[in-house]
Amino acid sequence: MREWTTIKEYEDILFQQYGGIAKITINRPQVYNAFRPKTNEEMLDAMAICRERADIGVIVLTGAGDKAFCSGGDQKVKGIGGYIDDNGVPRLNVLDLHKAIRSIPKPVIAMVNGYAIGGGHVLHVVCDLTIASENARFGQTGPKVGSFDAGFGASYLARCVGQKKAREIWFLCRQYTAKEAEEMGMVNKVVPFERLEDETVEWCETILKRSPMAIRMIKRALNAELDGQRGMMEFAGDATLLYYLMAEAQEGKNAFLEKRDPDFSKFQKFP
Ligand code: S0N
């Protein structure tokens, strides 16, 4: 059994670390790890910490127990206009979490340990990779329970499984086994439940041996294709970051500070 150390205490989630891996666990097993606004706020806070912390290279998202990864929005707090927070404000702040998962320049792996249903299904879809246990079940429920996600849960799902399958998943609201989800292309690997964490940690440790800048750029590139101007902005932002690391960019800044003309002639012009 590996030792996960707590990074920060929260009410609805566990936030732990093992080496360069951060693990965010939705800890509401009594409602099959359904999220309420507070759960999403806490996950957003944990994601912000993961983004800042240079010692964290991969993030694992999972649910507590062996029944559910996440069963979507907590139907007990669903009100008019969204999920009601502690101040009585209706929110759909899981969408902010989707954006954070897409935007963080580090891989996010869904470790699916049971039901990934409704908004919980969308959550695993939005993650960069999905590793599932054999008991996992996947599916959307929106059109059955008065909801839908027309964001990544539709468009990125279709990129993963194809348009026809995505329409089937949303129109029929059936459940699929982990094996079926793998065959459809929305799960990377299926393992016995007892192997789930070991397998996920092995994937993380392999990624941690790879070049972080290369991983960052490839995540940006794969996102940009779907994310339009925002995706291009994030890709372009990292191109600027790379440029700032070069002596050529520093020459411009140094020349300004030294009140001289910059000399860019010494820098190679690549074919
Ligand atoms: C997961 C299911 C299939 C499991 O069935 P099973 O094994 O028969 O167990 P149950 O007895 O049904 O459940 C066990 C206990 O857990 C509670 N519970 C389960 N799911 C929820 C939930 N979502 N909210 C609150 N409680 C839940 C049960 O009530 C039960 O507790 P007790 O015994 O005390 O009654 C089955 O449980 C199931 O189908 N669950 C509901 C799945 C669902 O419909 N989820 C909501 C779908 N909608 C969303 O997620 C909306 C998402 C959203 O906010 C959004 C909006 C806009 C854009 C994007 C999104 C997005 O999230 O992507």
Q: Where are the alpha helices (DSSP H) in 84-195?
A: 94-103, 119-126, 142-145, 152-161, 163-172, 178-184
Q: Tokens in use for 73?
A: 């929005």
* DSSP 8-state class, residue 4: P
Atom 63 in ligand 1: which residue has the minimum CA distance? 119
Phi, psi (deg, nearest 5) at residue 181: -65, -35
β-sheet bridge partners, residue 190: 132
Please say whether the beta carbons of 24 and 58 come within 8 A. Answer: no
From the number of C-beta atoms within 10 Å of its C-beta (0-12, 13-18, 19+), residue 55 rates as exposed
**CA 271 to centroid of ligand 1, rounded, Å:** 56
**CATH, range 212-258:** 1.10.12.10
38, 71, 97, best to mutate for ligand 1 pocket (most atoms within 8 Å of CB) = 71
**CA 79 to centroid of ligand 1, rounded, Å:** 15
Residue type, 123: L
Please say whether the beta carbons of 109 and 127 come within 8 A. Answer: yes
Mean pLDDT of 22-38: 98
Task: Quote ipTM for the complex.
Answer: 0.96
Q: Which residues are annotated as a binding site?
A: 71-75, 83, 115-119, 140-142, 147, 244, 259
The CA–CA distances, whole Å, from 157 to 180, 182, 187, 199, 225 equal 14, 13, 11, 24, 14
Q: Which residues are annotated as a binding site for substrate?
A: 71-75, 83, 115-119, 141, 147, 244, 259
Please say whether the beta carbons of 131 and 189 come within 8 A. Answer: yes
pLDDT in tens, 69-113: 999 999 999 999 999 999 999 999 999 999 999 999 999 999 999
β-sheet bridge partners, residue 70: 116
Per-residue confidence at 269, pLDDT binned at 50, 70, 90?
very high
Q: Per CATH, which fold does 5-209 belong to? A: 2-enoyl-CoA Hydratase; Chain A, domain 1 (3.90.226)
Q: Which residues are annotated as a binding site for hydrogencarbonate?
A: 140-142
75, 122, 157, best to mutate for ligand 1 pocket (most atoms within 8 Å of CB) = 75
pTM comes to 0.97
Pairing mode of beta strands 82-84, 90-91:
antiparallel
Question: Using CA atoms, how far apart are residues 220 and 104, in angstroms rounded to an integer?
Answer: 9
For residue 1, is pLDDT > 90?
A: no
Question: Using CA atoms, how far apart are residues 59 and 21, in angstroms rounded to an integer?
Answer: 6
Question: Using CA atoms, how far apart are residues 175 and 102, in angstroms rounded to an integer?
Answer: 25
pLDDT in tens, 156-173: 999 999 999 999 999 999
**CA 38 to centroid of ligand 1, rounded, Å:** 16
**E strand or H helix at 42:** helix 37-52
C-alpha closest to that of 19 among 147, 258, 209, 165? 209
Mean pLDDT of 258-262: 98
Q: Give start-end residues of each CATH 3.90.226.10 domain in the chain.
A: 5-209
Ligand 1: list residues with CB < 6 Å: 31-32, 34, 71-76, 92, 94-95, 115, 117-119, 122, 141-142, 145, 147, 149, 151, 153
Q: Name the strands in the sheet holding 82-84, side by side, starting at the edge strand that comes first in the sequence.
A: 78-79, 82-84, 90-91
For residue 34, is pLDDT > 90?
A: yes
Q: Give start-end residues of each CATH 1.10.12.10 domain in the chain.
A: 212-258
Atom 41 in ligand 1: which residue has the minimum CA distance? 71
Q: Which residue has the tokens 């029944």?
A: 67
- pLDDT reported for residue 110: 99
31, 32, 173, best to mutate for ligand 1 pocket (most atoms within 8 Å of CB) = 32
Mean pLDDT of 205-225: 97
Question: Using CA atoms, how far apart are residues 212 and 201, in angstroms rounded to an integer?
Answer: 17
